[in-house]
Structure formats: C-alpha cells, structure tokens
Structure 1
Amino acid sequence: MEVPASVAAVVDREFGSDVTAVTRLSGGCKDTYRVDLRARTVVVAFPRATWYERAFALEPALMRLVRTETSLPVPRVLASDVTGETMRPYHVTEYVDAPDLHGRFAASPREAQATLLEAAGRALATLHQEVEFASSGPLRAVDGEVRVEPHASWPAFLAALVEEWVAELDERRFSDLRGTFTTALTPDAFLDVDPNPVCLHFDYAPGNLLARGTELVGVVDWGFAVAGHAEYDLFQFEKNFLLGQVEDRRVRDELRPHVTAGYRERRSLEAGWERRRAFYRVAYKLASMRSFHRWAGDEPAQADALATRLRDELETDLERLRAYE
C-alpha cells in the first residue's frame, strides 16, 4: 500500500497513527481520501487547484457552524489547517459509511425517489430556517469564523454574479450569448424580493448527499456556499435532481411536487415563486455554461453534444421567462 506523502504528513501531524489503508474518493475540486487508521476511519481532503483554495478554507468553518446551529447530518470536522503556511492546506472529517446519491437516485424505485426528495427538501429547509446572515454575499472564513462579504441586496449580489459569469463564458462555445444573458438577467428589475439572507449550499446535488436507503445521513461539499435568497437553493435542488438525474420528462413531472413537499413542511414559499423560478432557470444555464470546461469532459464529440443541449435548453428557458413579461 502506497500512502500519498501529503496524506501521511496530515495523519502523522494530527493523529500520530499508522495508516492501514487509503482509498482515493471522487472529490470534484478536491483531492479526497478515505484513510483507515488503527482506531478510526477519516476523510482527508486537499484543494486540487489554487483557484479553489479560498472556497476550501470556508468548508471546515461552515461545516462546524452548520453542525452547531442545525440538525443537518454534516460530517464532524476533526482537524483542519487551511493556511498553507507550513504544508498543503487540508481538513479532516469523520468518515460517513454511506454512498452518495449520484446515479443511485435515478436507479431507485419511484417511491424511494419521492421519499428521498422529501427528505432532502426537509434538510434544505432546515438549513435555510436555522442559518441566517445579515446580508447577501459570498461567504468566507476569517480566523476560522464564517463571514459575509456584504452586498446591498440579493438582487445586487445576483447581478454581480451574473456579470462575473457572463465575462467568464467560453470564447469559442458561448461568447455569442453574452448579450442574451445580459438582457434577460436584470435582477433589480425582475426579482421583487427582499428576503432575510440565509445560508445557501449552492451545490445541493445528488453527489453531495449521502444516504442509507432512503435516510439522508450526510450533506457534504460546502465550499461554494453563499448567503442569499433561499429559493435559489431550492431551484438548484430541483434542477440537480430532476433534470440532472431523470431523463424521462413524465417522470420528472411526477416527481416535481415531492421537491417542494418536504421543503414546505418546514418553510413556506413566498408569493411569485414560479416567476422567480423561471428567472433562476436562465441564471443557472449561464452558470452551467460558464463552468462548462470543468464538467463537460475531454471527449470532443460528447462536449459538442452537451453544448448543443445547453443552447436548446436555454431557448426553452428564455421562452418561459418571457411569458412573465
């Protein structure tokens, strides 16, 4: 068994224990390892790229906050050093012996899918109900505490995100759509909400939810979290599970009520939700196009097909949005 040097250094520093086994886990923006020690099993994670280090530093601070303030099943942070001053930034969490829902959700029986959606909705509503902030904006870790970089309002913060995302659109694939997005996504004119900002996971997807059967036992990957309007998280939850995991439109329509059913048990939706949902569909498409190079894969034919699908979906999303004008 070959133990990566970075893992060995963290284990020696934090536990002074022998490593009995190491397994590389899928980690998205992180290099993540399941590490078996003599007395326990832990997960050791490192930022994979420099651009992710600030988000990586947020994770342990926010996970500790969410564990303290809510009943969400968030893995316990056992150790962290995100400064990078003496060694590679890292954090260590307890290992949750349960698989994530990526792929599993789509393969589950319909009744189990409905139960999982309602459980995930309740968990998301709990997060929004119990972790609030004074303003909308990016979340950052400052001396181990979670802080907001404040914006004047949620629409102002979303407008800043849209401007950033439009500027980062791939020059070859999507640059011709910059004017389309700039015209369509005008939050100050469209979003008539002034919510109390809450913690948005901002990547509430099957791959970040751990489950045993239909019981939700872990919510992971908190690096993209922001403070903002709760409904955007709810919208992402719907899109990530239904459009991302279920190909049959009839099945998506059948399951869609279960997305909000669990959520509504703990938190009500504001008037105008469907209109804002149409707006968020376009914003989400922009976010997907902006990060296309990170998730589309290296196979040119597959990437071309995905880009075409995104463009077709955008046209449909724009039509939905125009219906509210």
Structure 2
Amino acid sequence: MEQVLRWVSEQTGSDVATVTPLRGGWTAEMRRVRLADGRDVVVRSFVTEFFRRHAEGLLEREAGMLRALADVDSIPAPRLLAVDSTGRYGEAPSLVMSMLPGAVDVHTDRSAQLAGQLVAIHRVQVDPRPREFQVWVSPGTVRVPAATNRPQVWTQAVEIIARELPPYDGVLLHRDFHPGNVLFDGDQVSGVVDWVETSWGPADLDVAHCSTALALLHGPEVGVRFADQYVAAGGQLSEDLRHWQVLDALGFAPDAEKVAGPWRELGRIDLTSGVLQDRLEHYLQQVL
C-alpha cells in the first residue's frame, strides 16, 4: 500500500513513521498510521473486488457524515482528514480520519451505554438527509440452517418479512450500529465508527441490528431486552418493532459466520458456528 501511504503523507503534511493493522472489521483494511509529527490517524482502504466496485458511494457517504458530525458534541465520531473514493491517488479507494481514544469491547455487555448513544444518533438533524435505508435480505435470499430443530421458527420469520414494510417516521440511521463499531474508554463511549452505511429510516431498524449483534455476542436475552433499554434512554419505537427485528436477524442466517470472524480476532473464540446458530434461532424464537 505504498501509494496509499504516500497519499496519506501528502494529505496530512507529515511523513509516515509506522503502520499497524487494526483488527475487528471485514469489509475493509484498517490501519493505524503514526505520523512523524506524532499524530495517529486511521486509514480505511477497500481492497477486495466487491467493495472496490462500491467504494465511491461508501466512502463519499462516510466522508459526508463525518463532515456533518464534526460539530455534534453528542456523537464522538472521527474527524475527516482526506478521502480518495475512487483510488485515483493510491492503489485502493481510501479515507483518512482522526484516531479516537478507546477500544472495541466484545467481551462485556455494555448494552445500556449503547442504547444511550444510539438515542443520541437518532436525534441528530442533518441536511440534506442521507439516502433511504436499504433492505439487506428478502424471503428469497434467506439461508435457513441445514440442520435445525426449529423449522417453524424460520417459516414464521420468512412469512413476516414477506409482508409489506411497515410505515415509519424516519430518523438518521447509523445502519451498522453494534458493539464492533463503538469504542469505549473505561465505562464511557469514546467513539462511533464505520459510517459507510448511513441512511434515513426507522429507529427500529438500528435498534434491531444492535439487538441481533448483542444476542449473538452475549445471548438471546441480552438482544431481546435492548429495545427496552433504548426506550428507557429516551428513544421511541413503533408498534412494528418485531417486523424490523425479524428482518435484521434473517440477514445473519444461517450462522452469522461473517461477523464472527472479526469478533474471534478480538478474542471471542467461543463463538463457533454452532453457538451462533443456536443463539440466532433462540433470539428469533423469543422475538416471535
């Protein structure tokens, strides 16, 4: 990535001293770059063919949100330093942002803090609005586990998402809000990262996405109660929350292996495919 690092040096006005890979993600290569002037920055680069094809939209969306959040005190987002969304100046589309304090914690249940931070995100007013949210799964693309003792759960869940989407009042969505995208410094949220999927849509959808992740990380009961914690923190949810919960959970089927890889890199080696499938099914069953 020499060309990308040269571009980083040009954009920051300082030579690159050291480069350290960051763990915990799967869509892009993330690096911590120590500059010769002592600053630390983070570089996101899309290197796989699929994400390179979509990099311009993803990185421009993230860059726009980081600009919009620069003066929003309630959202500890990184500062945008530079973006090359087409890879014109380096061999990979990339974005440079400030390094935030803290670290991801996938070991401790911090759902109460997550709920409070998510309420703050949904209260932010942005102009212009980001794009409308996208649905990531449909009845025809659901992958039911090959070996399941709860076929009726999957049948009922697919029937629910085959219905029309419920009406909703839109808010700003992070759209990928979960413990892997939130940094903690002690007991405090110190950063919210990965704004490439920012959208406009129902608050229920962000709550549902974080609920599924919590269920997979810490157990179905933790995922189910997250909605109550969000409401207790001042958030508002609709009567159609179940539809959004099921819609999100089915996107992780059959075993959530995609997100488990980064979590295992962070030490959660207990999250085997069997454990994840069992937790996902139990969570769906409780939601239904």
Decide: shared fold, TM above 0.5: yes
Tell me how far apart the structure 2 counterparts of residues 125 and 24 of structure 1 sit (CA, whole Å).
31
Match of 2:5? 8
Whether the 8 Å contact between 2:137 and 2:247 is mirrored in structure 1 is yes
Gaps of 5+ in 1: 107-112, 134-144
Match of 2:140? 166
Whether the 8 Å contact between 1:282 and 1:318 is mirrored in structure 2 is no
- Candidates 217, 231, 239, aligned match of 1:245: 217
Report the TM-score when normalising by structure 1: 0.68
**CA, structure 1 residues 283+55, in 2 after alignment: closer, same or farther (shift >3 Å)?**
same
The one-character-per-residue Cα deviations of 1:282-302 (angstroms, maximum 9, x if unpaired) are 2223210279563455xxxx9
**CA, structure 1 residues 73+260, in 2 after alignment: closer, same or farther (shift >3 Å)?**
farther
Match of 1:140? none
Bigger shift: 228-237 or 80-89? 80-89
The one-character-per-residue Cα deviations of 1:99-141 (angstroms, maximum 9, x if unpaired) are 11222x25xxxxxx4xxx33322221121122368xxxxxxxx
**CA, structure 1 residues 85+260, in 2 after alignment: closer, same or farther (shift >3 Å)?**
same
Tell me how far apart the structure 2 counterparts of residues 291 and 58 of structure 1 sit (CA, whole Å).
29
Residue 198 of structure 1 aligns to which amino acid in structure 2?
V
- Candidates 221, 224, 230, aligned match of 2:203: 230
1:256 lines up with 2:228 in the alignment = no
**CA, structure 1 residues 261+186, in 2 after alignment: closer, same or farther (shift >3 Å)?**
same
Tell me how far apart the structure 2 counterparts of residues 131 and 74 of structure 1 sit (CA, whole Å).
15
Cα-Cα RMSD: 3.8
Tell me how far apart the structure 2 counterparts of residues 219 and 312 of structure 1 sit (CA, whole Å).
26
Tell me how far apart the structure 1 counterparts of residues 141 and 219 of structure 2 sit (CA, whole Å).
31
Tell me how far apart the structure 2 counterparts of residues 162 and 207 of structure 1 sit (CA, whole Å).
21
Identity across matched positions, percent: 21
Residue 48 of structure 2 aligns to which amino acid in structure 1?
A
The one-character-per-residue Cα deviations of 1:183-218 (angstroms, maximum 9, x if unpaired) are 331342x73xx3321122122111111111111110
Taking the TM superposition and a 5 Å limit, the aligned residue runs for 1:127-142 are 127-131=121-125
Cα displacement (A) at 1:61? 1.5
Higher share in helix:
1
Match of 1:50? 49
Match of 1:196? 169
Report the TM-score when normalising by structure 2: 0.76
Gaps of 5+ in 2: 262-268
Match of 1:110? none
Tell me how far apart the structure 2 counterparts of residues 78 and 221 of structure 1 sit (CA, whole Å).
15
SS at match of 1:64: helix
**CA, structure 1 residues 70+185, in 2 after alignment: closer, same or farther (shift >3 Å)?**
farther
Larger Rg: 1
**CA, structure 1 residues 247+269, in 2 after alignment: closer, same or farther (shift >3 Å)?**
closer
1:288 lines up with 2:264 in the alignment = no
